[in-house]
Amino acid sequence: MNKTKQTDAAYQKCINPDCDAEYDCSKPLFKCPACGELLDVRYNWDKITIPSKLNEFSKRWAGRSNKLDFSGLWRFRELLDFCEDKHRVTIGEGQTILQQNDAIGKYADMKASRLYLQYEGLNPSGSFKDNGMAAAFSHATMVSAKSCACASTGNTSASVALYAHHCGLKSVVFIGSGRIAFGKLSQAMDYGTKTIQIRGDFDDCMRQVQEVCTRLGLYLLNSLNPFRLEGQKTIMYRIIEQLGWEVPDWIIVPGGNLGNSSAFGKAFYELKEVGLIERIPRMAIINATGADTLTDLVNNKKLIWNKGQVAQKVIDDYYADLTARNFSPQTCASAIEISRPVNLKKCLRAIDICDGIVRAVTDEEICDAKAIVGRYGLGCEPASAATIAGLKQLRAEGVIGSDERVACVLTGHPLKDPDLTVNYHKAKKGQFANAPIEVENDLEKIIKLIE
């Protein structure tokens, strides 16, 4: 066992049970140096004073002038206690809401008052990523990182760019040429990060950024970084907080690089471990059909967590086949256009924890669901709408009951991808298209159109 010194409350631990190496949190590690597997942040709970009841966290709303209490992340700081207060970074992330929505519920064939939407588009950079970045940049600050990098389908880069300039770190983001929605690209440029467009897809960018970070000693901000996932756990805390600390029956989340699903599984496992909840919800992870590695591996190749003894050969063979076919994922939900998800194994673990299931939905289903979220909800970007399309499919299959309580995570803001929205409506592509009507500059003709 490769054991190095641990900090008091938190440490990093390899997820490979055959390795089990532990490292203290002062090291910016993104894979286990001993075996190359993913790392977790783990806690010595006996060294942390955790509120005995979940509603203690809510009471912090009363002290909103304290910026840590105001943060929808650090309000839960005992549950991600890896750094001191002085290192905790916040720009007001996590002020997000859970919206109960019957019209969208009806679209997905749910009974009234059963569907909830956790709208993460309200974050400072417009996506759930800010939850992860507040945590990861706190760690980056703690280890005195000066420069950082990420690969991205767009939202990670926007969030990195925003937090980097807040924290005074130099940043560089790698994006696949032509693979990023314009709202996100505009943010990266506007927030002043060095934006490198690689002629390739997200998976190519992900490979390159790891090499670059190793060679140049940059702090990596993709969800390989275990501290990022600690921040993303708080999305689940906020859902159950808004349900009066009741756990829903289902959480539905889009699956891309599988950081969220991994973080959510860990969040519930830990809440149960420390005795703050009694029941863990089920989780459905939704891929796009053009980027459905997880669906294929879990549903067809029967890949499972198996107490950490994951059949690596199945994964290796799958990826070798993708390479042999020169496969590049294709979906209009560019945020989840990923075929080699880096958190695959942690996601398998989350599926195990949450009795999870995986489905894939078509671009057409995603676009229609997105239009429905726009019309009746707060709007969202395409990847987020995969959750509603997934719910509809799972209702049709009868896997989810119409009276079960479901929370879908709407991961990003509708203005992230205005092109797709305009095309859908203007080109009358889907059944909910709402195209603008052109008319001459003539009052009578205008009135005729409205009457």
Q: For residue 154, state whether it binds ligand F0G (rule: CB under 6 A).
A: yes
Q: For residue 155, state whether it binds ligand F0G (rule: CB under 6 A).
A: yes
Q: For residue 298, state whether it binds ligand F0G (rule: CB under 6 A).
A: no
Encoded one letter per residue, x for contact with ligand F0G by CB under 6 A and - for no contact, window 323-362 reads ------------xx--------------------------
Sign, Cα dihedral of 335, 235, 192, 380:
positive
With CB under 6 A as the contact rule, which of the stretches 149-157, 239-247, 323-331, 419-427 interacts with ligand F0G?
149-157
Q: Which is nearer to ligand F0G, 282 or 416 (CB)?
A: 416
Count residues contacting ligand F0G (CB under 6 A)?
A: 21
Encoded one letter per residue, x for contact with ligand F0G by CB under 6 A and - for no contact, window 218-237 reads -----x--------------
Q: For residue 260, state whether it binds ligand F0G (rule: CB under 6 A).
A: yes
Sign, Cα dihedral of 283, 51, 273, 68:
positive
DSSP-assigned letters across all residues of 349-383: HHHHHHT-EEEEE-HHHHHHHHHHHHHHSS---HH
User: What's at 319, amino acid-wise?
Assistant: Y
> In angstroms, rounded to a whole number, what is the distance separating the alpha carbons of residues 109 and 395?
7
With CB under 6 A as the contact rule, which of the stretches 44-52, 154-162, 389-397, 429-437 interacts with ligand F0G?
154-162
Distances (CA, A) of 113 to 120, 211, 265: 20, 48, 25
Q: For residue 363, state whether it binds ligand F0G (rule: CB under 6 A).
A: no
* CA 78 to the chain's CA centroid: 21
Find the shortest distance in angstroms from Cβ 137 to ligand F0G: 16
Neighbours of 103 (CB within 10 A): 13
Give the tokens for residue 225: 């970084």
Find the shortest distance in angstroms from Cβ 48 to ligand F0G: 26
Binder of ligand F0G out of 124, 412, 414, 430 (CB under 6 A)? 412
Q: Which is nearer to ligand F0G, 156 or 193 (CB)?
A: 156
Q: For residue 256, state whether it binds ligand F0G (rule: CB under 6 A).
A: yes
Q: For residue 371, state whether it binds ligand F0G (rule: CB under 6 A).
A: no
Q: Which is nearer to ligand F0G, 173 or 276 (CB)?
A: 173
User: Which of positions 306-325 make contact with ligand F0G (CB under 6 A)?
Assistant: none
Binder of ligand F0G out of 96, 118, 156, 195 (CB under 6 A)? 156
Q: Which is nearer to ligand F0G, 184 or 405 (CB)?
A: 184
User: What's at 216, amino acid-wise?
Assistant: L
User: What's at 45, amino acid-wise?
Assistant: W
Give the tokens for residue 304: 């499972």
Q: Which is nearer to ligand F0G, 155 or 242 (CB)?
A: 155
Residue 265: which residues within 8 A CB-CB, separation 6 or more? 283, 346, 347, 349, 350, 351, 352, 353, 354, 356
Binder of ligand F0G out of 176, 183, 259, 430 (CB under 6 A)? 259
Select from 72, 84, 14, 5 the least CA-distant residue to 42. 14
- Buried b / exposed e over 229-238, threshold 16 CB at 10 Å, is bbbbbbbbbb
Binder of ligand F0G out of 14, 383, 394, 420 (CB under 6 A)? 383
Query: Helices then strands (H, E): number in the chain?
Result: 17, 13
Find the shortest distance in angstroms from Cβ 156 to ligand F0G: 3
Q: For residue 411, state whether it binds ligand F0G (rule: CB under 6 A).
A: yes
Select from 233, 247, 343 the least CA-distant residue to 294. 343
Find the shortest distance in angstroms from Cβ 129 to ligand F0G: 6
Longest dimension (CA), the chain: 82
Residue 179: which residues within 8 A CB-CB, separation 6 or more? 153, 201, 202, 334, 337
Q: Which is nearer to ligand F0G, 90 or 257 (CB)?
A: 257
Encoded one letter per residue, x for contact with ligand F0G by CB under 6 A and - for no contact, window 31-60 reads ------------------------------
Mode of pairing for the β-strands spanning 10-14 and 22-23: antiparallel
Binder of ligand F0G out of 127, 193, 234, 421 (CB under 6 A)? 127
Q: Which is nearer to ligand F0G, 226 or 256 (CB)?
A: 256
Q: For residue 254, state whether it binds ligand F0G (rule: CB under 6 A).
A: yes
3-state secondary structure of 348: helix
Residues that bind ligand F0G (CB under 6 A): 127, 152-156, 223, 254-260, 335-336, 381, 383-384, 411-412
